[in-house]
Each structure stands twice: as structure tokens, then as C-alpha cells.
Homo-oligomer: A and B are copies of this chain.
Amino acid sequence: MSIQERAHASKKASIRLAALDGETKNNALEAIAIKLEARKTEIIAANREDCARVAAESPDTPLLKRLRFEDEKLAEVTEGIRSLMKLPEPVGQTKLATQLDNGLDLYRISCPIGVIGVIFESRPDALVQISSLCLKSGNAVLLKGGSEAANTNRILAQIISEASVEAGLPEGWIQLIETRADVSEMLKLSDDIDLLIPRGSNDFVKYIMDNSSIPVLGHADGVCHIYLHSDADEAKMLPILVDAKTQYVAACNTMETLLVHESVAARLLPEIQAAMEAKNVALVGCDQTRKIISVGEATEKDWRTEYVDYKLSIKVVSSLEDAIEHINTYGSGHTDAILTEDEAAAKTFMTLVDSANVFWNCSTRFSDGFRYGFGAEVGISTSKIHARGPVGLDGLMIYKYKLIGHGQTVGEFASGKLTYTHEALNKDCPL
């Protein structure tokens, strides 16, 4: 089948999938977990082939770690599937109920988006995670994984498809796409694909955004800040700064720029420098910073850079407003925190900083679907519409309006014979 035909098949399957009840979907999830466990040996063998091929080509690549899929990763993904089963059924919830007239009732009902195109890089666990999220939310999915993981992805997709179709899911709801050429084609299929979720490097996400008219859920950068206000509590400061910068440097919610109020810079920067350098963090700073501590020079480019590394830029600012202005100018709208003991300053910061996640007195590293308690995460969005910040199952849902009448026409209301009541109804949609 061509990619067009496969996208079309998944669109058709998505209609049936959207109509399934929660029990059928949970049974399918359980069947997938069981089959993944039962065929463990095959999965690991396929993965070892992939790893051996990649290792032969470039033995030292960090890719190998992400690519490896053995007992531990398998246990993680099946545990993930089982915790997903425990989440409330997202489809068919009545979000709004309004009586338009006696016997004319309007309901806003949650429903799946339709067909999700997911493009991810080398981690095969992403395939299982994303397809089980799509299943739970009633969405069909087109998956394109990294070519390094071709064998692993093929067997995982095959197991998920077989187990779920045996459990009553419509054939074709999950499709694996294998070639780069197919991805270019996929980006054009706006009639059949409703949302793209690219997971991977910033450049990769940006490429997808620039090359498709299909809506994209993803973030192109994570330039996160912490602002030390003049009254920041020093006891809280170092643990938070060290955590935000070094707990996992490759994450998008890692601090890249530290802003320090000028009234405390001279006192605090030396201990910050010591703590960061003890963790091998390279520092660059603005002119004012460099008058206080001996660090490299930060250029305009630094303020916009997501280092994804043991590196931090530091800027001294003269006010809360300057800090906010810097963040809104150079930040990426991801996650920004203020350290202060002044509630009014925190409120100003959290209101005026235009980011998906705004924090007071805690590490930027908390912005994450699992930590937020969403159970599972599709990704983190820096888009301003649909879903913002860590995106759980909610981000894969939309709604439809159901209107139930008894023969009403608009003409009767236009003529004044009937009038809209617009009363809130306290009940769920009967169908």
C-alpha cells in the first residue's frame, strides 16, 4: 500500500475506533502488554540486530543507549500500558450541556482528534508509548521511527497491531511507515492526518513545522530561565539552581539562563559559580556578571541558545520587569521560574511571563507530564493553541457538538414563535 492509501485506511479505522467503549480499548491494551511479554525473545533479538548494525557503523554513538530495548525497557513500557488502563476513559465525556429550547438539547462531547502522525527518532519505547496513548484516546496512528531501529519498530508495531485487532480494534488503526520518502509524502496528507507529533531534536521539530500544513504539536526550543529576585531565599537557591541545571542536562526543561537581581548579584554570584563549577557547568555572563565573577562572555546568541549541555549563561538585571522582559524576548515560552519570598513579585512574574509553565520557588525540571500527574505524556508543547505545556491524553482529544431535537427549525426562532432558553442542563448526553 502507498502512504496515501495507508493514511486513508487509518482515517477509515479512526471512525470505528472513535466509537469503541472504554472496556474494549482497555482489553486491547492488556492484550498488547501480554503479547509484548510473550514475544520478548523475538523483540530483543530484533533489537540486538539493530544495535549491532549501529554499533558496527559508529561504535561510540550515544544513540546506542536510546536504541537498546531489552528486559528493563520492556518492563517499563508494559507498566506504562497498565497504568494507562487505569486512567479515566477520555472519550464521550459531556463537557457542556445546554437546553436551547424545551426539547432541544445541546451537548459538547469529548472525542478523539482522528488520525495522529507521529515521527520519532531512535527510541523504540516511544513507539509503544505513543501508540498506546493513541489507542486509549481512540485515535488512529501513523508511526515513523528512526531507521536505526527498523527491526525493533517493525516487530513492536506488528505485535501491537495483531494483539489489538484480535481484541476487537479496527484493522489499520496503526500503521508503520518506514522510509524517509514516505515522511515527505505524509506531511502533505492534510485530508487524512489531523495532527502531527514530532518527537526529537529541535531542528527536526522545526523542519516538520516548516514543511507541513497539518497542525503540529511539539516544541522547537526549551530556553528556560530562573530569575533570582532581590529577596530570594538563599537556603532554597543553590539546590534549585543545581537541580534545574544539572539534574538532566539533555532535557528541554533544564535551565539555560540565570537572571540575577543587581542588588544581590555581588553577594550570590560567587557561591553560584562555586556550586556550578563543582558540577562541571561552564559559565558565561553579561558584562556586569563578569565584573563580579571570572567567566566567559555571553553574546546575544547565548540568550537564545538551548545548550542541552553543562553550560549556563548568567545575566544581571536591574528589576523584576527587566527579568520578565528578557524572558519574553529571548525565551521560548517553555518553563521559567522565579525565586522570591515576595508573593506580589511572584504573582507579577507568573502573570506577565508568557510561558507555558511559570514556577515559584521550585526547579524548572518539574515541567513534565509524569511529574504533573497526567499519567502519560505525549510531549511538551510551546504552541499557543490547543494544548500548552506537558500534554497528556487531553492533548489527543477534541469535542463534537450533539444537538437533539424534536423537529425544531431555525425559522421558528427567527420569527419569534420560539425563543432560546439557553439554560444549563445538569445531565450527561443520553447518546
Contacts and interface: CB of A to CB of B under 8 A. Distances in A.
Interface of A: 14-16, 18-19, 98, 100, 104, 106, 113-114, 194-195, 209-210, 213, 215, 217, 233, 235-236, 239-240, 242-244, 247, 324, 328, 343, 346-347, 350-352, 354-363, 365-367, 371-373, 383-386, 388-390, 398-411, 413-414, 420, 422, 430-431
A312 B417 CA distance: 27
A100 B408 CA distance: 49
Contact of A399 (B215, B328, B388, B430): B388
Nearest to A358: B402
Given A113-B384, A359-B403, 16 more contacts: A15-B352, A215-B215, A215-B383, A215-B384, A239-B407, A242-B409, A244-B409, A247-B409, A347-B431, A357-B400, A361-B404, A362-B404, A365-B409, A372-B401, A385-B385, A388-B398
A233 B386 CA distance: 40
B356 A243 contact: no
5 contacts: A236-B406, A359-B405, A360-B405, A362-B408, A363-B409
A347 to B, nearest CB: 4
Across the A-B interface, give the 7 residue pairs with the lowest CB-CB distance, nearest first: A362-B405, A236-B407, A243-B409, A373-B422, A365-B410, A347-B431, A386-B386
A422 B83 CA distance: 14
This chain: how many copies in the complex? 2
Contacts of A409: 239-240, 242-244, 247, 362-363, 365
A158 B77 CA distance: 58
Contacts of A411: 239, 243, 247, 363
Contacts of A239: 407, 409, 411
A360 B87 CA distance: 31
A213 B205 CA distance: 14
A299 to B, nearest CB: 20
A390 B15 CA distance: 22
Contacts of A233: 407
Contacts of A373: 98, 100, 106, 420, 422
A173 to B, nearest CB: 14
Residue from A16, A383, A410 having most chain B Cβ neighbours under 10 A:
A410
A338 to B, nearest CB: 11
Nearest to A370: B420
B363 A408 contact: yes
A90 to B, nearest CB: 14
Nearest to A397: B385
A365 B367 CA distance: 44
Contacts of A235: 407
A108 B236 CA distance: 24
B407 A357 contact: no
B406 A361 contact: yes
A384 B114 contact: yes
Contacts of A328: 15
A403 B385 CA distance: 20
Nearest to A193: B384
Nearest to A195: B385
Contact of A371 (B100, B194, B404): B100
A240 B401 CA distance: 19
